[in-house]
């Protein structure tokens, strides 16, 4: 019979897969405080993850978080036919692969800071940074074009200001990936753009407040039943569709495989 690996590749045809690599070493606090024993184990697990990637041959692999020199050296050993993107907080940029766009964000000038009432407020002037000007432009394009768009962050997505999460959701970002020292979010975090724009779309944090944690997210079907088919009326008046962006962050060893299909459809699966 046919070699099982050859058979698997034949069946996959030209499946478009992107793999997001996670490892505890990519969480800065863990990396800087783990014992030598733990570090050895994490490195062995990272090597194992990279072997899996070499066997699977995705179109691209990306690692988010604190990527130290030894991790960088290991990531450089991924087969040269597979591009490896680092989202390590040093710079922001976008990449394209098979018609899908990745927005690599730099958290240092985006993180929310809290005021004395523990409400998230803007980090000084994060709205005016070069990165925000660039991001607005990218999101305007993805909102209109409707290609697959994913965002990647070198820290915990839960620390971003809500107004920024709303911008990402409004730009039809399918999922925001990051790292976290507070346990994992398995696509169960989400942030919704309801199709309505605030009067001060760019500056007002509080108004467009929407469920960001899984606990607050309402089941879509319930929503539609409550008000007889979603609030289409208000959405149409703005001419924008509501969209929910998933949020995934992790602090463990994991390979998240995203399979991209036509019409902006995507399927996540851990491998």
Q: Residue 228: its pLDDT value, please?
A: 37
- Residue for token digits 């399927």? 267
Better pLDDT: 224 or 238: 238
Q: Which of 4-18, 131-145, 170-184, 241-255 has the lowest mean pLDDT?
A: 4-18
In angstroms, what CA-CA distances link 241 with 32, 41, 147, 194, 234?
A: 44, 46, 15, 7, 10
Write out pLDDT tens, residues 49-68: 999 999 999 999 999 999 99
Write out pLDDT tens, residues 67-124: 999 999 999 999 999 999 999 999 999 999 999 999 999 999 887 555 555 555 555 5
Q: List Cβ neighbours of 202 (8 Å cut-off, separation of 6 or more).
A: 127, 163
CATH code of domain 14-187+245-270:
3.60.21.10
**pLDDT above 90 covers what percent of the chain?**
57
pTM, entire model: 0.78
Q: Residue 109: its pLDDT value, please?
A: 85
Write out pLDDT tens, residues 144-163: 998 999 999 999 998 898 98
Q: Residue 7: its pLDDT value, please?
A: 54
Q: Residue 1: its pLDDT value, please?
A: 66
Task: Using alpha carbons, select from 156, 82, 75 the residue that is nearest to residue 120.
Answer: 156
Residue 249 pLDDT grade (very low, low, confident, very high; cuts 50, 70, 90) = very high
In angstroms, what CA-CA distances link 267 with 3, 10, 246?
A: 27, 20, 12
pLDDT > 90? residue 188: no
Q: Residue 97: its pLDDT value, please?
A: 94
Q: List Cβ neighbours of 82 (8 Å cut-off, separation of 6 or more).
A: 53, 54, 57, 58, 59, 60, 61
Distance CA 152, CA 74 (A): 20
Mean pLDDT, the chain, whole residue set: 80
Better pLDDT: 177 or 218: 177
pLDDT > 60? residue 13: no
Q: Which of 129-138, 181-190, 235-244 has the lowest mean pLDDT?
A: 235-244
The domain limits of the chain are 14-187+245-270
Write out pLDDT tens, residues 194-210: 887 654 444 433 333 34
Q: Residue 23: its pLDDT value, please?
A: 97
């Amino acid at each position: 019979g046919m070699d099982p690996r050859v058979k698997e590749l034949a069946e996959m045809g030209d499946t478009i897969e992107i793999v997001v690599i996670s490892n505890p070493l990519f969480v800065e606090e863990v990396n800087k405080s783990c014992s030598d024993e733990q570090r050895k184990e994490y490195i062995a697990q990272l090597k194992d993850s990279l072997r899996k990637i070499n066997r699977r041959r995705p179109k691209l692999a990306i690692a988010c978080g604190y990527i130290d020199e030894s991790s960088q050296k290991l990531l450089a050993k991924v087969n040269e036919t597979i591009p490896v993107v680092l989202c390590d907080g040093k710079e922001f940029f976008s990449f394209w692969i098979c018609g899908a766009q990745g927005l690599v964000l730099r958290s240092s000038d985006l993180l929310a800071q809290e005021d004395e009432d523990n409400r998230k407020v803007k980090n000084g002037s994060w709205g005016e940074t070069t990165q925000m000007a660039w991001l607005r432009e990218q999101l305007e394009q993805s909102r209109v074009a409707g290609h697959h768009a994913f965002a990647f962050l070198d820290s915990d997505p839960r620390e971003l200001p809500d107004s920024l999460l709303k911008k990402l959701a409004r730009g039809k970002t399918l999922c925001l990936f990051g790292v976290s020292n507070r346990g994992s979010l398995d696509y169960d975090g989400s942030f919704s753009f309801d199709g309505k724009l605030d009067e001060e779309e760019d500056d007002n944090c509080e108004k467009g407040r929407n469920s960001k944690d899984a606990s607050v997210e309402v089941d879509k079907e319930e929503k539609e039943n409550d008000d007889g088919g979603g609030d289409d009326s208000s959405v149409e008046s703005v001419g924008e569709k509501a969209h929910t962006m998933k949020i995934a962050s992790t602090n463990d060893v994991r390979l998240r495989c995203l399979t991209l299909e036509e019409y902006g459809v995507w399927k996540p699966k851990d491998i």
